[in-house]
Amino acid sequence: MIEYFEGEVTVNGRTPELGQTLLRKFSVKTGSGAYCGIIFDKKNIMHVDENTTAVIDLSGLQKKVELSAGSLGSALRNLPKQLASGTDSFMLTSPSAVAGIRGTVFYVRVEDGNNTYICDCNGIVHMRDIGKGNERTVEATHHAAYRYTRGGGAITSAQADMLYHSDQMMELGAARIGETIDWTRVER
Look up residue 88 and give its DSSP letter: -
CA dihedral angle for residue 16, residue 39, residue 31, residue 160, rounded to 10 degrees: -170
Q: Residue 166: what pLDDT?
A: 97
C-beta of residue 119 within 8 angstroms of C-beta of residue 108: yes
Q: Tell me, yes or no, whether 181 lies in a domain.
A: no
Does any domain span residue 184?
Answer: no
Residues spanned by the domain of 62:
2-176
- Which is nearest to 41 in space by CA: 20, 63, 26? 63
Whole-number pLDDT of residue 93: 97
Number of domains in the chain: 1
Residue 183 located in a structural domain: no
Q: What is the dihedral of CA 59, 112, 168, 79, to 10 degrees?
A: 20
Cβ atoms within 10 Å of 68's Cβ, excluding its own? 15
Say if residue 80's pLDDT is above 90.
no
Predicted confidence at residue 152, as pLDDT, reads 87
Say if 98 falls within a structural domain: yes
pLDDT of residue 129: 97
Using pLDDT thresholds of 50, 70 and 90, give the confidence band for residue 88. confident
Instruction: Say whether pLDDT at 85 is over 60.
Output: no
pLDDT at 114: 86
pLDDT of 84 reads 53
Q: What is the pLDDT of residue 63?
A: 92
- Nearest alpha carbon to residue 28 among 14, 43, 7, 44: 14
Q: What gap in Å lies between CA 144 and CA 125, rounded to an integer?
A: 10
What is the distance, to the nearest Å, from the Cα of residue 152 to the centroid of all Cα atoms in its chain? 27
- The CATH number of residue 133's host domain is 2.60.120.1440
- Top pLDDT among 170 and 79 is at 170
Give the residue-averaged pLDDT of 141-153. 94
Quote the pLDDT of residue 79.
81
The band of 186, judged by pLDDT with boundaries at 50, 70 and 90, is very high
Q: Which of 34, 46, 44, 45 is nearest to 10 (CA)?
A: 34
| 89 within a domain of the structure (yes/no) | yes
Residues 131-140 have pLDDT tens digits of 999 999 999 9
Alpha-carbon distances, residue 160 vs 62, 115, 117 (angstroms)? 28, 12, 8
Q: Does a structural domain hold residue 182?
A: no
Exposure pattern of 135-161 as b/e (b: 16+ CB <10 Å)?
eeebebbebbbbbbbbeeeebebeebe
* Mean pLDDT of the region 28-46: 96
* pLDDT at residue 86, as a whole number: 63
* Structural domain includes residue 125: yes
Residue 6 lies in a domain: yes
Confidence label for 58 from pLDDT (cuts 50, 70 and 90): very high
pLDDT band (50, 70, 90) for residue 82 = low
pTM: 0.95
